[in-house]
Amino acid sequence: MLTLTNVTKSFGQLRAVDGVSLTAPAGQVIGLIGPNGSGKSTLLSLIAGSQRADSGQILFEGHDITHLATDQIFRQGLVRSHQDPALFFRMTTLDNLLLPIKGQQGERPLIAPLHHLWRAEEEANATAASQVLEQLGVHHQFATLAADLSGGQMKLLELGRSLTGTPKLLLLDEPTAGVAPALAYTIFEQIERLRATQGLTFLIVEHRLEILFDFVDSLYVMHLGKVIAHGTPAEVAANQQVREVYFGE
Ligand SMILES: Nc1ncnc2c1ncn2[C@@H]1O[C@H](COP(=O)(O)OP(=O)(O)O)[C@@H](O)[C@H]1O
Ligand SMILES: [Mg+2]
């Protein structure tokens, strides 16, 4: 589904991402961990197209997306969520979910004034978006402005919004940061359900290893911009270099 080869990104003298190669096979949940500043968020930005790689290649379903714009990448089915929720804060929860839906007739300038041409579609979209809210347990907040949600609810909405864009691959940046432990586990159960029922592929940056380890097929560990280990949770936890840089042993 996703293959990175030797991807590099520098900010001035700093090599934030330094020759990273990784793969995310279709239908798998892949973890990405590493200390703060190791380059994880930057790597997600390079994949999603919001930052440009200096060198290397990024393939999505076999297509080279290294130099495509974010909207082109999104339309191919690759969606990312942000570490700090990047919501439309002055729109309601429901409207945030309606925005990414692809191919909406009412968005076309000549059709927009003719309500009868898109009303049924809009209602169907609202129903589908409501179901996403219900699955995430924030249905009662559908009319609340995103700015008025709690931190945890914002993270849930960020996840929900990445789903209504009909993704094939989701890049999630710390989906449970700032979320209560029980809810954090629920978020990963939702991820597991989406993988099982819709065959979605996930690449997930997450600090809560005790939860992440229960759900991933394999993990990559980054340190100072480089991948220093890859394997199952058990293999990664036993890796000496990982223990040194990540667990401080
Ligand atoms: N836009 C930027 N300009 C300059 N330096 C950046 C920028 N984005 C990230 N960095 C730096 O790159 C390194 C990796 O950051 P980041 O990808 O956010 O790491 P992580 O997500 O693993 O904590 C850090 O040293 C960070 O300060
Ligand atoms: Mg980060």
Write out the residues surrounding ion ligand 2, Cβ under 5 A: 40-41, 83
Strand partners, 198: none
Structure confidence at residue 99 (pLDDT): 92
The H or E element containing residue 231 is strand 226-231
Please return the burial class of 90, using the count of CB atoms within 10 Å of its CB with bins 0-12, 13-18 and 19+: exposed
Tens digit of each residue's pLDDT (9 = 90 or more) over 95-135? 999 998 988 888 888 888 889 888 999 999 999 999 999 98
Structure confidence at residue 249 (pLDDT): 67
Given the structure tokens 């709690």, which residue do they identify? Answer: 150
Total residues found in the chain within this entry: 249
Q: Indicate which atom in ligand 1 lies nearest the CA of residue 83.
A: 21
* Rounded distance from Cα 153 to ligand 2 centre (Å): 19
pTM for the full predicted model: 0.92
Q: What is the rounded distance in angstroms from the CA atom of residue 144 to the CA atom of residue 138?
A: 10
Tens digit of each residue's pLDDT (9 = 90 or more) over 53-71? 999 999 999 999 999 999 9
Residue 13 in contact with ligand 1 by CB distance below 6 A? no
Burial of 211-246, coded b for 16+ CB within 10 Å and e otherwise, reads bbbebbebbbbbbebebbbbeebeebbebeebeebb
> What's the average model confidence in pLDDT over 243-249?
78
Structure confidence at residue 180 (pLDDT): 83
Q: Is the dihedral of CA 143, 138, 155, 148 positive or negative?
A: positive
Residue 80 has pLDDT above 90, yes or no: yes
> What's the average model confidence in pLDDT over 135-142?
88
How, if at all, do strands 55-60 and 2-11 pair?
Answer: antiparallel
Distance in Å from the first CA to the final CA of the chain: 35
Tens digit of each residue's pLDDT (9 = 90 or more) over 166-224? 899 999 999 988 788 888 888 899 899 889 999 999 999 998 898 999 999 999 999 99
Structure confidence at residue 120 (pLDDT): 92
Domain boundaries, the chain: 2-245
Structure confidence at residue 57 (pLDDT): 98
Structurally, what CATH architecture does the domain formed by 2-245 represent?
A: 3-Layer(aba) Sandwich (3.40)
